[in-house]
Structure 1
Amino acid sequence: MRTTRRPRRLLAAAVLTALAAAPLVSGCVAGGTGVRASKVGDEGPLSTVVSGPAGRAGRSAPEPVRTTPAPPAQLPGLGPKTRSQIPADARQAVLVTGAGPDSPDAKVTFYTRENTAGWRPSGPVWAAHNALRGWTDAHRTGDLRSPIGVFGLTDAGGHLPDPGTELPYDHAPIGFSVSGTGFRGEPLAGSFDYVIAINYNHLPGTSPRDWTRPLGASRGGGIWLHVDHGGPTQGCVSLPQQAMRTLLRTLDPKLHPVVVMGDGAALAR
């Protein structure tokens, strides 16, 4: 008996017809849209992606937002002229802001400078006093005004023993004695318990009591940070005793501390 064999061409056609009729298992698109199932990767589950019309990919993720780093912070209230006077190597600053050009009242804040963040406050705001008649750009002996500017802080001393400062400290119980009364009748005793020389017409590296005057005697001198006695000064800046102790323990000559001082309008120039 002869067996009838289908031609190979007919058999191949039948197989192709069967495959075409079967549903697609992966990557299928029905009715013009399709869904790709979620899968878990190394960074957690991926969101389900809904494709658009057949043959088109779904939406791509939004581009990450690029932000520009903030510039280093500046000492507040200072204008370009004052900022330009601050040495590049200064990392500590005592900011003295007077209430007005003719006012003896001021506030003091201590700042440190970080490489990236810039100037940051490092303590409270202290009430302070400056000279009786306020501030001046051209200080003269006896004018009863405090000099405006940026000055180094390199030397200290006082009637009381060294509280633990890194600055050179001249302990002179007699040399830093003071008596009498101030402009408001307040006692001056104890005002020089702690002092820090402001390098206005002062020779750095010498005691605050040194009377060498690089600019000449007519330009005044002996301008200090010292303990507040409750009233205006003749030219110095006075702070509470605890504030003076804090500054003495914090100021570091390796960080090149400065005082930035003047009335608000002058500092803003």
Structure 2
Amino acid sequence: MTVRKALALLMGAVVCTGVLGTGCAPQQSGAARGEPRAAAGSASQPASPRPAPPRSSPRPLPGVGPAMRARVPDATRQALVVTGATGGSSRARAVLYEQDPAQGWRAVAGPWPAHNGLRGWTDAHEAGDLHTPIGVFRLSDAGGRLPDPGTRLPYDQDPEFAVSGTGHLGEPLEGSFDYVIAIDYNRVPGTTPLDKTRPLGEDKGGGVWIHVDHDGPTNACVSLSEEHMRALLRALDPDMEPVVVMGPESVLGR
């Protein structure tokens, strides 16, 4: 072999070695290596989280807006809502509600027809103004001329609950106080409804009760039929800290 031919063979070997060292052989695709192949347009992305189901809120006291609801004590789970159609109406309707911790307020009795003050409602009650006070008031004591019908409230049976005479429409008042529930407006809770102590003063009135209806407007009280009075007395539970929420629809709904 001549020197020239030997040099040519040596140079070819060097060139081939250099090219192989830099990957001159074709690279295998992922498919050729047996790797999974992504489908066109299906780039892998994290799954979108499912929207959380809507949370149901406990039902608020029906017909009672945020301002009046704020006046209901936190511990109260029983409320008699007495609603007048207008501020000047002497007719109303009453519904007893109880609160379930999960579901909220639900009606348990009523609606019952009711009467209130001859001149309607007021948020500034004065003695003798013939208006029923608007607001949220506790119901803590009961009594009447007739024996206790089975209430869990303290009950004072007393002949002093007898009444006579006629109402604003000439209707007889006899029997109106056979059953009464004291509304804790300007009175001392824990006493008989007959107690005449007036913490706010005599000029702010008092003796505002729920009592037996005499088929006419009252001086300031709320009245229900005798049947509904017995039902209410049996239903009220002092452990549920009952209240009455009362007034015209336009005010209660605020």
Query: Normalized against structure 2, the TM-score is what?
Result: 0.80
Moved over 2 A (4+): 62-66
Identity in percent: 56
Cα deviation 1:96-150 (Å, max 9, x = unaligned): 0012101100000000011111111102200000000000000000000000000
Task: Name the SS for the 1:254 alignment partner.
Answer: helix
Distance 1:206 1:124 in 2: 28
Q: 1:97 aligns with which of 80, 83, 96?
A: 83
Q: Structure 2 matches for 1:64-79, cutoff 5 A?
A: 66-79=52-65
Q: Structure 2 matches for 1:1-269, cutoff 5 A?
A: 66-172=52-158, 174-269=159-254
The residue type equivalent to 1:219 in the other structure is: K
The residue type equivalent to 1:124 in the other structure is: G
* RMSD of aligned Cα (Å): 2.4
What runs of 5+ residues in structure 1 fail to find an aligned partner? 1-52, 57-61
Q: Which has the larger radius of gyration?
A: 2
Distance 1:189 1:63 in 2: 70
Cα deviation 1:192-218 (Å, max 9, x = unaligned): 110000000011000000000010100
Distance 1:201 1:113 in 2: 27
Query: Normalized against structure 1, the TM-score is what?
Result: 0.76
Task: Name the SS for the 1:175 alignment partner.
Answer: helix
Length, aligned pairs only: 218
**Structure 1 position 63, deviation (Å):** 7.8
Distance 1:228 1:67 in 2: 49
